[in-house]
Structure 1
Amino acid sequence: MQFPSPLVRGRLLKRYKRFLADVSLDTGEIVTATCPNTGSMMGLAVPGAIVWLSVSASPARKYAHTWELVEADLGSGPVLVGINTNHPNRLVTEAITAGQIPELAGYATLRREVKYGLSSRIDILLEDPGKGLAYVEIKNVHLSRNDGLAEFPDSVTERGVKHLVELGNMVAAGHRAVMLYLIQRADAQSFTFAADIDPRYAAAFQVAREAGVEAIAYACELSPAEITVARRVPLRF
């Protein structure tokens, strides 16, 4: 996924009201940017951090700037981390279409945001006359507290628990169900669950896994020009 225009660089002054961030651009201008992330952004919303913003030319936008990337350093040097939770579905769709996720290859059609279960929408529904249906739920991952180890979630997620239950129901109905954790940071060498942050989610995953729900994790490569799905990383339970 390429950004439609070059990102602009600055330093984070503060994140507030969850969806807003004040940033001092390298030009000296101070702007308010939209923060497209509902999580805690633990370790990423640190005042003084280098951030990258996209800029919209739409006159309908209240805030022209959107926070896209932040530099984080766990001791091995700075790494770009994607914080925009609107991107993972598009990133995974592009990767599946390009054949970059072998576990999800070979399906005839791909649809996004399809209604299913109890008033839910699946991120991606794969359909094929021979393979049947595959329900793919995507979670954005950007938390890392130990070098090389990505974690999910970074805050309590009741919605995430609901999705695991729904996927388990799809398996019980005879379909395939896959949880795909998309890690928007290139330093990830493995993935696990932050059970100390949300023990209910970690427990719900174990129930879903025993019910037949699959799980895979992929890490991204990031730059101020583009984000791409790069490689699978192992899961640690």
Structure 2
Amino acid sequence: MKFDPSFDSGVLIKRYKRFLTDISLEDGETVTIHCPNTGSMKNCLFEGEKVWFSVSDNPKRKYSRTWELAQTSAGHMIGINTGRANALAEEAIKNGVITELQGYQSLRREVKYGNENSRIDILLEDFDRPNCYIEVKSCTLLDEGQGYFPDAVTTRGQKHLRELMEMVEQGYRAILLFVVQHTGIKSVKAAAHIDPDYAKLLAEAHKKGVEIIAYSAELSPSEASLVKSCPVKL
């Protein structure tokens, strides 16, 4: 995924009111930009470190700039815009990077499914085998050398696990795909210390046949892509 133009940069001052972030531009001007990450962003907020943002030409937007990348004090890159995770996953499937998800006839996004009024992130369909339902989650929490998901209690994430288990029970293939948008994360694990219910459901889903995989992203102000499999500790 190439970014054209490449992202502009600044220095993080603070994030507040969930969707707002103040940064200092290279000329010293302080501006407010949109934060597209609705999570807690635990261990992703490094005040005084460099950040990158995209710029929209949509005149209806109150804040034309959107926070895209952060840099940690250790020099790692973090993908702040969780909305890009699905596009990264789709691109990686089409380019053959995610080897577990090859050979399907078609790919569709945001398809309604399940009994809890959900939309699956990616649906792979084929004439000769069961459909494959893929729920995509962006993983950015690095804590004491370990990558974790989620970074806050997620009832929505719990619902998605129940929906995936339901698909397995109906004879379909179901995948939970962690898109690792933190270059310092080397493996992913359920954050039982943050959301024990999610961790229990994840273990249950795995036992019932939901496939749980993770792929790591390379990130820069000019492009991003999933490049390799990342271990999941279950």
Shorter-chain TM-score bucket reads: over 0.9
Q: CA deviation digits over 1:17-72, x for unaligned, max 9?
A: 10110110112121111100111101112321211111112212110110000011
Alignment of 1:153-192 (within 5 A): 153-192=150-189
Percent identity reads 49
| Whole-Å separation in 2 of the counterparts to 1:14 and 1:21 | 6
Contact between 2:130 and 2:171, CA under 8 Å: does it hold in 1? Answer: no
- Equivalent residue in structure 2 for 1:215, among 208, 212, 217: 212
Matched, 1:37 2:37: yes
Correspondent of 1:136 among 131, 134, 137: 134
User: Which region of structure 1 is more displaced relative to structure 2, 106-115 or 25-34?
Assistant: 25-34
User: What runs of 5+ residues in structure 1 fail to find an aligned partner?
Assistant: none
| 1:199 and 2:192 correspond | no
Output one character per residue of 1:61-99: Cα deviation in whole Å (capped at 9) or x when no partner. Answer: 1101100000113xxx31111010110111110110111
Q: More deviation in 213-222 or 37-46? A: 37-46
Distance 2:29 2:157 in 1: 38
- Displacement of 1:187 in angstroms is 2.4
1:59 counterpart letter in structure 2: P
- Tell me if 1:225 matches 2:217: no
When the two structures are superposed, what TM-score results if normalisation uses the length of structure 2?
Answer: 0.97
Secondary structure at 2:233's aligned position in 1?
coil
* Aligned CA-pair RMSD: 1.0
State the partner residue of 2:4: 4
- Matching of residue 51 in structure 1 with residue 48 in structure 2: no
Whole-angstrom CA distance in 1 between matches of 2:33 and 2:180: 23
The one-letter code of the counterpart of 1:53 is F
User: In the alignment, which residue of structure 1 is the partner of 2:27?
Assistant: 27
Measured after TM superposition, the shift of residue 219 of structure 1 is 0.5
- Aligned counterparts of 2:96 and 2:199: Cα–Cα separation in 1: 30
- Asked if the contact 2:46–2:71 (Cα under 8 Å) also holds between the matched residues in 1, the reply is no
Report the AA paired with residue 3 of structure 2: F
Which ranges of 4 or more aligned residues in structure 1 deviate by more than 3 Å? none
State the TM-score, normalizing by the size of structure 1. Answer: 0.96
Q: Name the count of aligned residue pairs.
A: 233
Match of 1:131, as an amino acid? R
- For residues 223 and 101 of structure 1, the distance between their equivalents in structure 2, rounded to whole angstroms, comes to 20
Q: Secondary structure of 1:5's partner?
A: coil
